[in-house]
Structure 1
């Protein structure tokens, strides 16, 4: 059954018609999930739903037709997955923001979504404020990752490896290159990942060691002899 729906913008605009509306496309194979998310979106100022569909192939077509500002995209669907849809859309559209929604809250899934071109990743069991924060972050800053996928901050006192918080192999790769002065694009090219994925790992890394800038990461790497 074809569940794609187009909405007439005049029927969904708020009283503040002069305010720019973020034109949003909903993609999820569960009708109730789409209805719930649409209701939440329409309760927020500045968002309008211009279409919805339940199929990945139709999502690509609607993205071409509508050129929405934002797509809320389910990760796991019959046919084309959210990852495949994101890749297809990025082949012809680099401006539309994509927020991936998923019942899977693993870091690996978030990384794959970012590599495919998504701007953000939100676990589906979100509360209303989480959705509002994610939408705002993706719209204004171009990225968002569910807080549960972010490691807890840890102190960085000490001057040897034994006192350093445990880092993943990927975080160590990123740290060494950041401390060596490489740019995000250079790191991405060298590791064969997207710049968004580099930024994701760097953000996690900074939270992990309790630092907020590149200079701090460089000092941290030197203090803990991680550049050997």
Structure 2
């Protein structure tokens, strides 16, 4: 039996993904998560074969979740599931070891194929960076500043109104580490205020306007 984790902060999305997948013989939904922290905890406890992770969730992005799953050397393959068709986002997903990327709008026609590919440890990326319906290992060059997964998560949390202290507690790091990542992100983006970070987060689809 192949085991699957679904992580998304919207109940309706999780239910929709479950409906697409649970009719497949030999597949089992073993856990669901509503935010990034729950997703990591569920991945550790349930040890799924595939984790379908929403990019934009409370506490941390799907990219950060994928990065932590890889760092913990879990057997789980990660598929980033998102409403955004962003080249930069697809490249970030690939760089942290996520083998799949599918837009939510394409779930009905691509999700089963993508999960099947990941079950066999084969990559499946669909979108601007790699072409539609394409399995890919290649990377593309991307212009503009590139934030690390942790920097992106911290920018997202800042834009959501969290203080450095609360961000540090949520991510399990020191306040100094949070401040260092915050400063690095602001330097890369040439941004000098919290309001600037909020505008960037909206433009980059890290938060909703």
TM-score by length of 1: 0.56
1:56 aligns with 2:14: no
**In 2, Cα distance between the equivalents of 1:56 and 1:201?**
26
Of residues 54, 64, 67, the one that matches 1:74 is 54
Of residues 136, 139, 142, the one that matches 1:201 is 139
Please state how far the C-alpha of 1:26 moved relative to its aligned partner.
0.6
Q: How does 1:30-41 map to 2 (within 5 A)?
A: 30-41=10-21
1:115 aligns with 2:95: yes
Q: Deviations over 1:58-103 (max 9, x none)?
A: 1111111111111000011111110111111111124211111011
Contact conserved, 2:85 with 2:127, CA < 8 A, in 1? no
**In 1, Cα distance between the equivalents of 2:99 and 2:112?**
15
The RMSD of aligned alpha carbons is 1.9
Residue 155 (structure 1) aligns with? none
Of residues 9, 12, 23, the one that matches 1:29 is 9
Residue 220 (structure 1) aligns with? none
Q: How does 1:57-206 map to 2 (within 5 A)?
A: 57-146=37-126, 149-151=129-131, 199-201=137-139
- Runs of 4+ in structure 1 over 3 Å off: none
Judged with a 3 Å threshold, the aligned counterparts in structure 2 of structure 1 residues 46 and 200 are, in CA distance, closer, same or farther, namely: farther
Q: Deviations over 1:129-188 (max 9, x none)?
A: 311111112212421001554348xxxxxxxxxxxxxxxxxxxxxxxxxxxxxxxxxxxx
- Unpaired runs of 5+ residues, structure 2, are 141-209
TM-score by length of 2: 0.61
**In 2, Cα distance between the equivalents of 1:74 and 1:143?**
17
**In 1, Cα distance between the equivalents of 2:131 and 2:28?**
33
Contact conserved, 1:97 with 1:142, CA < 8 A, in 2? no
- Unpaired runs of 5+ residues, structure 1, are 1-20, 153-196, 203-228
- Give the structure with higher Rg (CA): 1
**In 1, Cα distance between the equivalents of 2:49 and 2:57?**
22
